[in-house]
A and B are shown apart, each in its own frame.
Chain A
Amino acid sequence: MIVADKKPIEEIIAEVKNFTKILLLGCNECVTVCEAGGKKEVGVLASALRMYFLNQGKTVTIDEVTLERQCDHEYLEEIRDRIDMYEAVVSLACGVGVQFMAEKYQATPVLPGVNTCFLGATEKRGLWTERCQACGQCILASTGGICPISRCAKRIMNGPCGGSTKGKCEISKDLDCAWQLIIDRLKALGRLEDYEKIYSIKDWSTDRAGGPRKVEREDVQE
């Protein structure tokens, strides 16, 4: 999922302090799971903002809506009939949701309510770690299901490097060396011969190096 982190409330206040009718728009997908932008977080932020404005002696309307997703037209359409009631929208979705919302409703300023971080997994409640960089050319089949692009600090294809010590990366003693993990995993799978292969230079044109990307599938298009 897309992992986001909470934006400091002071930053959000700075974004919205000049508006008087604000919609807080949550998202029921990834940001709900990582407890940054779901219905609950919308409620907490709305309550905090209401109190902030009251304390400032301002009359500000703050409404709360949480959509199923903000990265699909059909769900964003649900607020079309009420969007004109607001001077600004704070979207607590990931950067995708914020942008899609802004593209759809061009007359309303859409402001980000979270900091979008990476594609990751929930290791345990309150701990999310990166697992994928969306490089566009998956190599997990040959690396035992462990990604050296997202989990190796150097993103090297033939590791480990000289900075790997006792299974840890040189940038932090708390960070596993991805290549050590790959070797351990391949050993457990009895596939160490895969490790012997030298991988050629990765084609980065499918990564961000090739500019903004798109996936176009004519087979499913209408």
Chain B
Amino acid sequence: MKPDTVAASVTESVSDPAMGREAGAVAAASAHWHLGRRDFLKTFATGLVVVAWGNPLWAQRESGSSHSREGHPDVPRQIDSWLHLGADGTITFFTGKAELGQNIRTSLTQIVLEELPAPNHSVRMVMADTDLTPWDGGTFGSRTTPQMGKQLRNVAATAREVLLDLAAEAWQVDRSTLEATNGEIRHAATHRKSSYYDLTKGRLLQRDVMDSPPVKQPSVWTIAGTSMPKVNGRAFVTGRHQYASDFVLPGMLHGKVLRPPAYEATLVSFNAADVEKQNGVSVIHEDDFVGVVAPTVHDAEKALALLHAEWKTRAQISEGALFSHLRETSDYRSEEKEHRTDGSSLRRTYHVAYIAHVPLEPRAAVAQWNEGRLTVWTGTQRPFGVRAELAKAFAIPESQVRVIVPDTGSAYGGKHTGEAALEAARLARAAGKPVKLVWTREEEFTWAYFRPAAVIDVSASITPDGSLDVWDFHNLNSGNAGIRAPYRAARSNAEFHPSESPLRQGSYRALAATANHFARESHIDDLARLAKMDPLSFRLKNLNDPRAVAVLKAAADEFRWQEQKASPEVGYGLAVGTEKGSFVATCAEIALQRSTREFRVVRVVQAFECGAIVNPAHLMNQNEGAILQGLGGALFETVHFENGRILNPRLSSYRVPRFADVPEIKIVLLNRPDLSSVGAGETPIVTIAPAIGNAIFSATGVRIASMPLGQRVPPASG
């Protein structure tokens, strides 16, 4: 049947001139999507372009992936344009980073405005478009601020230096008497001024990015360092922002993919007879891949339900055998460490469950083939990586693939890959029409990847004066992020041992730093008790980094740690950590019901330091969000699985933090204008779980050595 569509497509509606500036910006961005790189470069007919030759030094290599330019001779070594100054006064910056909610569109805007002063609205960030932006390894690892921030700062400063040169030459004045301000170069003594663009006199000027142009020190920042609101916030609160899942192309079909009943299942047979009778519906079958396309999502869903498939499944490791399996398949040979202590030493094994990212926007893509060239709009953290995946899958040069990432409905490390992009492109190629594919929540829970589960063995001992003596730490399966202890120890060892993971696993905000901090800070807390010392004093005595000490003291002061006395109804815990160059400490208070042994987190104080702060409000926002997201993994999030099937692939069976879970939260930001800014999207998540576990320990003496901790304290074991 043919659907009766009554509305104009969304692409038309955002172009509505009545919609104001933000909508205009969205429409302008959409317009770019219809340009190829070559066309776009042609539009640089005049103005100033700041460029860099290919192979950027800051190119990030992710282990296991091969998507650098060097590995792909088909990707031309091209001039990367980082900035274009246009005749209308617009200053366009180009970056391969993606906006996923971490608010880098805003922070990068602040950074460039600091060096190239101009009205805020004149800056436009073109982001994460493989045809328009310089190659980039991906948006992960808290690298945007320290690396891309530095790069764009140099680009903006280069432009300013060039413009100052042009003005000095044109006006025959001493360059040092010129000032760049509000989109103009001014000469105060002669009252001369010129807009940035006018200084180019309508020529096209191309300049290389300077390696180390003069840049402002954070202590004199006036735009960076302030709480600029989200630059395109209005598009979000009005519902006008178009995520990949909202994108519409003329003539577009909707796709659905037939999923196996379990992982590792192979297709034995399938019957599409019932589907082929449906008007406008096509079934696409290539090897084990079966999908449908239809004029509406509803028709595609109905068609999918009418496919009859037979799958061959095989036995797989279930949740109950997970931790022994991780131990058996690692190169680390040791017994499970039951809690054992002789008064000065302590050994224990910690366990961490698989959890899911649950990005509220599930994987989504719109794919379009045009004369052998593929364009895909999708939400991913690695547009260039997804371009490589697509080129490989379809055996075409990367230059024939364009990946565009609209600002995306979150990722948290969970969108490094291009599953939906591949599937949509496959369906679109077979259908000969553009195809949109949006994963269901169940698909997102099942067919994406998880934060790795962990087994962590820790053995440690202390000297009679309460100093760490031996520290021996082994992480099985989850990774080595944050594995190095910020404590002095006479003999210290920390190792990561890969295992065979029964479930597909991958990056998650802060990677293994959360698991490693949970085990380490739980263990340190127990050692403090062995040393008969207060948990704060024990840490301060053994910490080896003044920045870690500073955040710990700041959190403890704000929490009034010294005044808190634990009781069977109230517990207090703290934890400190460092990862990716930033420092965090968290204090947590829990309230315990003695009869039921249920507890609630009622108060959290977190201190955080990441060098010079670029946007205090957004840094607060990241800290608050990380604490609460971390609360889910700390207390209740866990992926249940059996024999290749996920048992709780829905929000009704997989609990995430909600309003009712929110405790009182206080954030203390330590600004260090004397230090370079580093990223802050990840590290603020690593200390909430151990702080809660330690609060439980302070109230009950019970050490819960697994994440999630649960919401009820188990009875003390003998």
Question: Are A and B part of the same complex?
Answer: no
A residues contacting B by CB (< 8 A) are none
B residues contacting A by CB (< 8 A) are none
